[in-house]
Amino acid sequence: MPQYHIWTIGCQMNKAESERLGSFFEQLGYQPTATAEDADIIVLNSCVVRQNAENRVVNKLHTLKPLKKSRPDITLAVTGCLVNSSVVRLQRSFPHVDHFFKAGDYPQWLRKTEPGQILPQHPAPNTFVPIMQGCNNFCSYCIVPYRRGRERSRPIEEIVGEVKELVHRGAKEVTLLGQNVDSYGHDLPDKPELADLLKELNAIDGLARLRFLTNHPKDMSTGLVEAVARLDKVCEQITLPVQAGSNDILQAMRRGYTVEQYRRLVNEMRSKIPGVALSTDVIVGFPSESEQQFQQTFNLLSELRFDTVHVAAYSPRPGTIAAREFEDSVPLAEKRRRLNEIEQLQKTIATEINARLLGTTVEVLVEGRKKGKWQGRTRTDKLVFFSNSSDCLGQLMKIRIEKTSPWSLQGRAENNTN
C-alpha cells in the first residue's frame, strides 16, 4: 500500500490543514508513515512567519535532496505559507520539489476535481476547524496577508455540518481557527458574525467545549464578549494579541488600536466573563523601540496580568511594510534582554495565578498521555497532568490540583463525569 508523510511546522491552522491532508491521502488509499524515507508522497507544510521557521523549511528541503535523488519516484510537495504567487521562483530555487500548492488547498495533481471538505477520520478529542482563510489587516511586520490572501469566510451551515460530523467521529472540543476570527462573516452574503456561529455550534449535542483563535483588538465586539459569557460551551478563555504597550509602536505596527482601547476591552471581558483567562502576544525590539517604549509594554503586562504571554523578538520579514520602510535598529542582544525580561515577569505572574488553583477541583478534557501520565486542559486552557489506571482519553474528568507551576498543574482524578 502506498504511504504518505507530512512534515508540519507553524500555527494551529497548519496543523489542522495537515490533519485534513492526511485524511485526503487516506481516502485515496495511502497509509501514514512517520519517516520520509518510507513514503511515496512527502508533503512539507511550511511556515515563514519568522525567519527561523523559514530557515527550518529550507533546511528540511535541502536534507530531502539526496532522498529524492536516490528515489526519483517519490513525490515531494510543499504547501503552507512558503508558497506565494511566485511559484516559478520557488521551482527555480528547489528544482527537486515536484509540486507547490497553496495553504488550505489540496493536491490537485492527484485528483482533478474539488474533493469537498476532507475531515480527519479519527479526530483528536480537541480538534481544530478553520472557519476562514486569509487576513485583510496588513500589520506592518506580518507576511500572512501576502501568503494566505484576503479574508474568505466559510458559511455557517458548512461549519455546523462539519462540527457535527467531527463530534460524531469522537471530537469533544472544537477550536475555531482564523487569522482574525473577529472579522468572520463580513464577506458572506448575510454578514453573520462570530457570535452567530458560536450560537449555532453551542446547540450541537455531544459537543462539550468551543474555543476560537485569534482575536484582533480592533475588531472584537461587545456582542462576542457577551456571547462568550452567555453560551455554556464556549470556554472562558480568549487570546487577544496586544503586541506592544506603546501607542507609537502600535501605530508603526499598523495595529489599528491604542493601549487605552485595549485596556478597556480587557476590562470589559473581565467584568462580563467570570473567571476569564486571557492570553496575549508581544513583539519586542520592533524598529526604533526605545527603552522607555519597551518599559511601557513591560508595565502594561504587569498591570493586566495575563495567564499566558507569547513573546517574540522582532525579525524583519522580506516583503512586509516594516522590512521595507524601517531599519531593524534594535541590536539582537538588546532584543534578547527585553524578551528575557518579559519571560521572567510572566513566569512570576503565571506562578501566582496558577497557585490559586491549588486544592481546587477543575474539569479537564483528556487529550493524551505524556511520560506515563494523562494530560488534558481546563476550560481556561491550563495544562493538567494526572495519573489514572484506566483509559480516559477524550473524557471530561474532575481533577483535584495538588501541585502548580507557571506552565502546568498536577493533580489527582476524583471521578469521571463523562
Residues that bind ligand SF4 in the complex, under the rule CB under 6 A? 135, 137-139, 142, 144-145, 179-180, 216
Instruction: Name the residue nearer to ligand SF4 (CB basis): 139 or 330.
Output: 139
**Shortest distance in whole angstroms from residue 379 CB to ligand SF4:** 25
Q: Output the CA–CA distances (angstroms, integers) from residue 375 to 122, 267, 279, 389, in the order listed.
A: 19, 32, 20, 13
**Shortest distance in whole angstroms from residue 133 CB to ligand SF4:** 11
Q: Which runs of consecutive H residues, i.e. helices, occur in 99-242?
A: 144-148, 156-168, 194-202, 222-230
**Shortest distance in whole angstroms from residue 142 CB to ligand SF4:** 3
**Shortest distance in whole angstroms from residue 216 CB to ligand SF4:** 5
Q: What is the β-pairing status of strands 396-404 and 361-370?
A: antiparallel
Q: Which of 372, 358, 371, 369 is nearest to 401 (CA)?
A: 358
Instruction: Name the residue nearer to ligand SF4 (CB basis): 258 or 295.
Output: 258
Q: Which of 37, 48, 39 is nearest to 4 (CA)?
A: 39
**Shortest distance in whole angstroms from residue 135 CB to ligand SF4:** 3
CA distance 379 to 209: 8
Instruction: Name the residue nearer to ligand SF4 (CB basis): 64 or 176.
Output: 176
Q: Is 171 left (phi over 0), alpha (psi -120 to 50) or beta?
A: beta
**Shortest distance in whole angstroms from residue 187 CB to ligand SF4:** 15
CA distance 314 to 334: 11
Instruction: Name the residue nearer to ligand SF4 (CB basis): 133 or 395.
Output: 133
Chain centre to alpha carbon of residue 241? 12
**For residues 303 and 332, is the Cβ–Cβ distance under 8 A?**
no
Rounded to the nearest 5°, which phi and psi values hold at 128?
A: -120, 140
Instruction: Name the residue nearer to ligand SF4 (CB basis): 13 or 166.
Output: 13
Instruction: Name the residue nearer to ligand SF4 (CB basis): 5 or 216.
Output: 216
Instruction: Name the residue nearer to ligand SF4 (CB basis): 266 or 366.
Output: 266
**Shortest distance in whole angstroms from residue 281 CB to ligand SF4:** 9
Instruction: Name the residue nearer to ligand SF4 (CB basis): 144 or 220.
Output: 144
**Shortest distance in whole angstroms from residue 75 CB to ligand SF4:** 31
Q: Give first-to-last CA distance, the chain, whole Å.
A: 38
Q: Which three cell numbers stand for residue 256?
A: 489599528
Q: Output the CA–CA distances (angstroms, integers) from residue 194 to 28, 60, 150, 273, in the order listed.
A: 34, 37, 18, 17
